[in-house]
Structure 1
């Protein structure tokens, strides 16, 4: 590790399913579940899930860009989502489950826009890519029981993921 740290923030539907792909990779220091992009201060899970707060469920990744680059994070992000669905992700419906990339720097914005264009031009999808690219705003960590959910509750995590349809979509469109 070089000691440098940057943040990356991604919304991809249920944050439980967005932690595992990034966790435990070289250069990834921390992956935290939380809420961002809304208008209510210190929202609870219920505030976000109800749609009252305007927040997205998201993960915020602290990473060493000299070990794992922001581009590599983007390359890992896209195959976790359905970028054509603006009503949520898989069986999780509503604004809090929409997809977005929240950029922290101009360089991140540029890379995110390029990666979105590449996905759009890939021919992989017939519908338009609706994932938003937005400036990062305050990130509120989710309640403790949401952190590392896949590790703390492996059976519930696997069951939820299986019934969501996420894995079937990934296999069909990204594998």
Structure 2
């Protein structure tokens, strides 16, 4: 299985800034919708969240802007599971023009499974773990994305 295509959209005028590019906040909106779609694939759709009282919270994310995205571009998000433990999910979203392998932006996320009654962290349910493990197994042959595990820093002064 290649990376999952989790979201597709067209870049609309309200999302474009004064430079004619997709505004930085809307990259994250697109990636957020892709995370919602991944939750659905993991069996954590709105009905499940309401019934179980569990959800995913974002602990940390990094966004890399790699190439311009312009008005009316048709884009899609590909999602790769990097890893998980009993409560956390590490994933990577990449933004592409539909049908084009060039990565326009990358988004690394660490998510936490949460019991909303606390709220407090909670282990994934067996059903969610099964869905998660099936995706991981299907993506075993994918290379690690180039933009994971990075930190923001200036180069040392010369």
Q: After TM superposition, is the score higher than 0.5?
A: no
User: Quick check: which has more Rg, 1 or 2?
Assistant: 2
Q: Which structure dedicates a bigger proportion of its chain to strand?
A: 2
Q: Which structure dedicates a bigger proportion of its chain to helix?
A: 1
TM-score range, shorter chain: under 0.3
The higher relative CO (CA closer than 8 Å, separation ≥ 6) is in 1
